[in-house]
Amino acid sequence: MAELPRGNPASLVADEVKTGLDVLDYTPHKKRSAEGAENQSADNGCVCRYEAPQGPTQGPSVETNIETILTKISSIERHLGLGTQSPLFIAPESTREKSRPPRFASLSIKDDQFAAIVFHTDINLSTHARSLELDHALEYNNGGSVAVFRHSAHELGQLFFRHTYNWFPILSKREIFDKLPLLQNTVCAGSPDLFLLLMVLAIGGLNANDSIGPFQAEQFHTQALSMLGCVLEEVSLRSIQCVILLCIFYGLKLMPMKAQEYLSIGSIKMQNLMEIQPVNKSVDESGDIVYNLGEYETRAFWALFILESEYAGVLYFANTGLFSYASNMKFPSLVGEEPYPWPGSPESNSSEIDESDPHFLAEIGVRKIIDRTCYTFNNSQSHTMGTTPFASIVAKELQSQLDEWYLCLPQSITFDKSTWPVTNTRHSTRAIIRAQYFATAILMYWPCMMEIIMTGECPTQEHRDVFKTSIDSYVQLVLCGTSVRLSELPTAWPHAVSIFAMTATIVRMTQRAPLAYDRSEELNSTIQRAFAFLESMAQSSPSVRYFTTILHDLHNCRINSN
């Protein structure tokens, strides 16, 4: 059990400041040279250098305040030497960890220490979840077909663009609807274009959230898989888009192992595409390679970046090398598309589908802050000596960056940090971006929270402040994080796992009677809300069912202890 620092308070403050400065003072990583992309370990990077977006010139551009914060983040990273770090990718112990000193416990089910501290077990929760989900995938049945469709192809396409497109805007709406007549050609040979159309309709069926949609989804998905070979053999933007849609489909189906499988394929294809086309590469004044991809290639890269960081945060993930390119990649411009007439649609108003959504850029920004937070903890000097690497000066600096990101959000996706409606009537991207804010805030104070869990004490005002701040953030996280509509959340499984891990942390931290939250009824209500959310997914995911069971056991121990 870690001991709290002892000694003169003034010296502790000085040590704390020094710790914070030590964390931020390290040698910059070696830059990618013009002779070729250096294959750096994914443990070292996932940040970006900002380049002015080079997208289409027609149509109004999305409000770019979020690009301001992305630029500032990249400038900070260059100043600090954060070349290409990525704390999310941690290989199993058998391959790399044995030669390293003990790592600081991460707030992740991947970490053995997390399970030991919170659940007092030596089971690796991520490995166990993988085993459960693989067995579930083997039992997966595509189901039967339906003779009479209720949703037309245009209706399913609109469902896709209304519910899924905002997360990952990797397709052209006009191009998709212009090619829908391909589906009417019964002798059309298999091609990536046809595969893409079928997967758009399959995902639209899952977005429908009714009894008929899933049957249609399975039929289109089965038809698409029959021509998977022509997708896998190509290295093209279209084949990458197809694989991303497969990842999204399995994400909506709560099948993380299948999603991870196609995500890895997509990441490797993306790198191949970037390397085999010399026209994509140029060299800047400092000798670094810059990848000048087209707008939709750039969107595909960042979609893979977000998906990979999402799944890699909770699952052991083979290092595909994708993150090592991020510092050389520009950001998407998300220039708005011209309104489309939507032929054959019974809806009179489709303006909401035509509007560009800046959520994609905001998600890139917050994930870079999350990565920096994890990197700061895992590369501090103290974690190699078995002590808690918490310094309030570092936490406050990270918090200020998070708040600056919040202030730069465009008006269309800004949110109130103090309140959230009980029933979310907006797109789930709004709930998730708010949940990301509070999850990141909890992560920043995790070292101090872990210290409180291990000692059962809040001996200083700093500890008491973190205790209250982390629970306040958890309450807000669950309030919005559980209001998402699962039928439009492509990363439902890792999202559920995050709520599980955060809830388990708060339950364990408040297990000791002296550690009382000033709004205990609100906290208990929030925990029950988290349980209800997890239980709503338990029938579709054996791992979520298992997590819910052990969380109930932990919560019962908390009640008995208090």
Per-residue pLDDT at 249 exceeds 90: yes
The DSSP bridge partners found for residue 290 are 282
Alpha-carbon radius of gyration of the chain: 24
Q: Dump pLDDT digits (tens) for 478-526.
A: 999 999 999 899 999 999 999 999 999 999 998 876 677 888 889 999 9
Q: 72, 28, 45, 25: which is closest to 328 by C-alpha? A: 45
Using CB atoms within 10 Å of the CB of residue 65, give its burial: 0 to 12 exposed, 13 to 18 middle, 19+ buried: middle
Kindly state the helix (H) or strand (E) to which residue 290 belongs, with its residue range. Answer: strand 289-291
The SS3 assignment for 283 reads strand
Tell me which residue of 439, 431, 375, 429 sits closest to 402, measured CA to CA: 439
pLDDT at residue number 64: 43
Tell me which residue of 495, 497, 488, 538 sits closest to 136, measured CA to CA.
538
Helix (H, G, I), strand (E, B) or coil at 292: coil
Closest CA to 337 of 20, 82, 51, 55: 55
Contact (Cβ atoms closer than 8 angstroms) between residue 174 and residue 338: yes
114: tokens are 């997390």
Name the percent of the chain lying above pLDDT 90: 29
Q: Give the pLDDT confidence of 167-212 residue by residue, as tens digits.
A: 999 998 888 888 887 776 655 677 899 999 999 999 999 998 788 8
Token pair for 456: 């059962």
pLDDT tens digits along 36-52: 333 333 333 333 332 33
C-alpha neighbours within 13 Å on the C-beta side of residue 76: 16
Among residues 53, 44, 45, 49, which one has the least CA distance to residue 70? Answer: 49
Look at residue 512 in the predicted model and tell me its pLDDT.
Answer: 78
Q: Tokens 């084949």 belong to which residue?
A: 239
For residues 397, 403, 405, 407, the Cα torsion angle rounded to the nearest 10 degrees is: -140
Contact status, residue 313 vs residue 264, Cβ threshold 8 Å: no
If DSSP codes are grouped into helix, strand and coil, which group holds residue 281?
Answer: strand
Distance (Å, rounded) from C-alpha 425 to C-alpha 431? 10
Angstrom distance (rounded) from CA 89 to CA 86: 6
Backbone angles phi, psi at 484, to 5 degrees: -70, 155
Distances 158 to 202, 227, 334, 350 between C-alpha atoms, Å: 12, 24, 19, 9
Whole-number pLDDT of residue 103: 52
Q: How far apart are alpha carbons 44 and 323 in whole angstroms?
A: 9
Distance of alpha carbon 333 from alpha carbon 329, whole angstroms? 12
Planar angle of CA 56, 162, 223, nearest 5 degrees = 95
* Share in percent of the chain as helix, strand, coil (round to 5): 60, 0, 40
pLDDT (mean) for 316-329: 80
Residues 6+ apart with CB under 8 A from 8: none
C-alpha–C-alpha distance, residues 261 and 250, integer Å: 10
Pick the more confident residue, 10 or 271: 271
Annotate 13-34 with three-state secondary structure.
HHHHHHHHHHHHCCCCCCCCEC
User: Do 83 and 326 contact (CB within 8 A), yes or no?
Assistant: no
Q: For residues 551 and 558, give the distance between their C-alpha atoms in angstroms, rounded to a whole number.
A: 11
Range 94-133 burial, b when 16+ CB lie within 10 A, else e: eeeeeeeeebbbbbbbbbbebbebbbeeeebbbebbbebb
Using 50, 70 and 90 to split pLDDT, how confident is the model at 336?
Answer: low
Distance, CA of 161 to CA of 311 (rounded, Å): 23
Asked which of 269-283, 296-310, 494-508 is least confident by mean pLDDT, the reply is 269-283
Q: Which residues contact 68 (CB under 8 A, 6 or more apart)?
A: 408
Cα–Cα distance between 358 and 426 in angstroms, integer?
Answer: 15
Q: Please compute the mean of the pLDDT values over residues 109-127 and round it to a whole number.
A: 81
- DSSP state letter for 412: G
- Report the phi/psi class of residue 334: left, alpha or beta, with left for phi > 0 and alpha for psi in -120 to 50: left
pLDDT over 80 at 74, yes or no: no
Distance CA 274, CA 557 (A): 52
Mean pLDDT of the chain: 74
- Quick one: CA dihedral 203, 208, 209, 211, positive or negative? negative
DSSP H or E segment with residue 282: strand 281-283
In the numeric block, which tokens belong to residue 28?
């910059």
pLDDT of residue 48: 30
Give the integer Cα–Cα distance in Å for 151 and 219: 13
**Greatest mean pLDDT range, 1-10, 62-71, 180-189, 450-459:** 450-459
The residue that leads in pLDDT, 427 or 245, is 245
Q: Coil, strand, or helix at residue 255? A: coil
pLDDT at 107: 78
Inter-residue contact 257 to 494 (CB < 8 Å): no
